[in-house]
Structure 1
Amino acid sequence: MGKGEDTCKKFLDLLLTDKDVEETYPDLKDILLKNTSRSPETAQACPPGNNESKRPKKEEKYQLKSQPLGLCVIINNENFMDYTKRRGTDKDAQRLAEVFSWLGFKVLMCKDQTRDKMDQALNYFASLNENSQLQEFSVKEWFGTEFIDSQQVPKHGDAFICCILSHGEEGVVCGIDWKPLSIKRITRTFKATEESALRGKPKVFLIQACQGGKVQRGVPDDLEADASPSSSSPEYADVLVAIATVEEHKAFRDPVDGSWFIQSLCQQLEERCKSHEDIETILRHVKYEVSQKEGSSESGAVKQMAEVRNNTLLKTLVLSAHLP
């Protein structure tokens, strides 16, 4: 249906190779025998309104026109309850804030959240229904060159970015109490509903956390690892999840310069958004750049491979379409 007259005819021919179909729908043969060229009978075989001109365009893009473009929420877990400190994570949070504010997003940060607080904060940002909760999560807003106390109630725009900087294990990220919150639960918090302000809008999750204890072929002293002790849309459409490392492996973070993944991501966004490249293309360059880094003086001893683990984007996402 809707793929042109020739394709429609071939499909009808194929149907007639089945005896049961032929017996049940004898009119199919009549349609084909009357005229193999374009005719009212053949046209009726393909319902009106399903022609090529009305099919979605291949290069259809998400429309990002709101001001701000949307929210960028950063959950930045630095100080854990066992006195573990994720040195360098503030550098990541700052770079993310700089880049996404430049792209036109309102950037908010929640610092040092337990598992339950992370879950509650994400539910709050998914709905933005309970305004009284804003202060409960000690939300800071990026203003110029620093994070300050946020006073204004946030609103959703045309896109949503969620950045989680924490320790993790396979399939989960950890709160500062070391309790795990599954990545699947995080993304499903933002599933489409009739009431959701983000229905049909792109939701991008950028996760800097280990996904296990394996090292991809020694960690030098100056590196730390983020590991622990249509008229309708599918519920889980319009989501992209990019993670610093593949399953079962560590993700590395420099205590001064920040993590390999986040720093590469921010650099690539700055460079490539200027030429209006889409997010999937940019993430491909991020994956390559991270894969080229060495965590040891011995070549190939310590490597990392970033991963796009889930991508249900239905359109092309260009974060910089509004830029000159």
Structure 2
Amino acid sequence: MHHGNPICLTIHEILSGDYGLILNKVDENKLITQREYNNLKSINNANAETHVIELVDKIMNKGEKTCKDFLNLLQTDGAIKETFPLLAMSSCQHGNTHVTQYRNTVRPVGLCVIINNKNFKDGSQRRGTDKDARNLAEVFKCLGFRVLMCEDLNKDQMDQALTFVASLADMSHFVDPQQVLEHGDAFICSILSHGKKGVVLGTDRNPLPIKEITRKFRGCDQSVLTGKPKVFLIQACQGSNIQHGVQLMETDDDTSPLTIPEEADVLVAMATVEDHAALRHIVDGSWFVQSLCEQLKERCPRGEDIVSILHYVNDDVAHRETSSLAKQMPEVRFTLRKKLVLPPQRT
């Protein structure tokens, strides 16, 4: 690969899916000569990505106008947009690379840690949570993550496991010592447990503040996760209040370097808002996790980013209600600086 060329590696990876379509479209729009088209088409013994690199290099060497025409073609042609939805998430400029999404090139993509607390020391069980854990593991494996499942951890064990994962220190208590663990381009942590306001509970019913969990992964000069997205998916009550439905009213809503804040690049998705319960079916699992898995399966292949997908989860869960008219409203907060896109990995 010609690393010196001003091209988006993301676009190389995306376009490799159907190189023939791109080459034909470039030819139709007269961005290359007939001779160049024939030469590119006749390259033998090369994989799709090599073909793409040759084509993009040739276009980049033709000057700024041809480069802009090529980028415009990628963003406006109907067939290309339909075939490569991920292109909507990326953009390149001649002489400079500007990517609006987080890098996602390492395989595996990163670690996904699932803490599934089902059996509590007082004898109680969170029935249905195993289905949530299985579905999450299945989805994130398909998205290219290495999944680590931790079951029935008390507060101190949760704290210890997450501390180890953050630094990738001694994880022999939780995984096979022979396994080598490495952080990739993203980190996912899902905690399925009981909870109270601002905390999740260990199996001993002792609380671990969610703020302390995310703080373990805070950016610093030594952390390989600095500048990379860290997503926390929390299925736990945040109180005992039950939410009720209200008449829908129209509302308006507005939200608004060289170094980045240490709290950057984090997303926390809570099953419910503060002070309220999170609902879980004893067979089908929780509303939040089941909706999350369904939306990830449906929308990740389309190239939609995680925040957009969580909007659909919020809306889906908000429309559900129990026979007693109980409602639930998930809550998402984030300091992500870019879009996080997680395309399924080919097996």
Q: TM-score, normalised by structure 1?
A: 0.71
Q: CA deviation at 1:60?
A: 1.0
Distance 1:321 1:56, change over 3 A: farther
- The count of residues paired between Structure 1 and Structure 2 equals 243
What is the CA–CA distance in structure 2 between the aligned matches of 1:56 and 1:284, rounded to whole Å?
29
Q: Deviations over 1:9-44 (max 9, x none)?
A: xxxxxxxxxxxxxxxxxxxxxxxxxxxxxxxxxxxx
Question: Aligned partners of 1:63 and 1:135: how far apart in 2?
Answer: 30
Contact 1:65 1:322 in 2 (8 A): no
Asked whether the equivalents of residues 142 and 344 of structure 2 are also in contact (C-alpha less than 8 Å), the reply is no
Question: How far off is 1:295 after superposition?
Answer: 1.3
What do residues 251-290 of structure 1 show as CA deviations (whole Å, max 9, x unaligned)? 0111111100000000000000110100010000000000
Question: In structure 2, the residue corresponding to 1:71 is in which secondary structure?
Answer: strand
Amino acid at match of 1:154: L
In the alignment, what sits opposite 2:330? 306
Alignment of 1:279-318 (within 5 A): 279-296=306-323, 298=324, 301-308=325-332, 310-318=333-341
Aligned position for 1:77 = 117
Structure 2, unmatched stretches of 5+, are: 1-92, 245-256
1:105 equivalent in alignment to 2:145: yes
Aligned to 2:201: 174
Distance 1:65 1:162 in 2: 20
Query: Residue 159 of structure 2 aligns with which residue?
Result: 119
Matches of 1:215 and 1:190 in 2, distance apart?
A: 32
Question: Equivalent of 2:274, from 240, 247, 266?
Answer: 247
- Give me the identity figure in percent: 58
Between the aligned partners of 2:177 and 2:284, the Cα distance in structure 1 is 27
> Distance between the aligned counterparts of 2:214 and 2:96, measured in 1?
29
The letter for the 2-side match of 1:306 is P
Aligned to 2:75: none
| Structure 1 residue aligned with 2:136 | 96
Does the 8 Å contact 2:268/2:334 carry over to 1?
yes
Q: Distance in 1 between matches of 2:95 and 2:274?
A: 41
| 2:162 counterpart SS class | helix
Mapped to 1, the partners of 2:291 and 2:310 lie a distance apart of 9
Relative distance call for 1:321 and 1:213 in structure 2 (3 A) is same
Q: Partner of 1:135 in structure 2?
A: 172
What is the Cα deviation at residue 321 of structure 1?
Answer: 7.5
- Write out per-residue CA displacement over residues 282-312 of structure 1, whole angstroms, 9 at most, x where no aligned residue: 000000000111111x5xx20000110x210
Superposed CA deviations along residues 86-113 of structure 1, whole A, max 9, x for unmatched, are 1111100000000000000000111111
Q: When the two structures are superposed, what TM-score results if normalisation uses the length of structure 2?
A: 0.67
Counterpart in 2 of 1:192? 219
1:228-267 to structure 2, matched below 5 A, reads: 230-267=257-294
The answer for unaligned runs of 5 or more in structure 1 is 1-51, 140-148, 218-229
Q: Given the superposition, is the C-alpha separation of residues 278 and 150 from structure 1 closer, same or farther in structure 2, using an over 3 Å criterion?
A: farther
The separation in 1 between residues aligned to 2:208 and 2:157, in whole angstroms, is: 10
Q: 1:55 deviation in Å?
A: 10
Asked if residue 268 in structure 1 is aligned to residue 291 in structure 2, the reply is no
The answer to whether the Cα contact below 8 Å between 2:142 and 2:345 also exists between their aligned partners in 1 is no
CA-based RMSD: 2.1
CA distance in 1, matches of 2:201, 2:264: 25
| Aligned amino acid, residue 122 of structure 2 | D
Q: Residue 34 of structure 1 corresponds to which residue in structure 2?
A: none
- Work out whether 1:60 is the aligned partner of 2:120: no
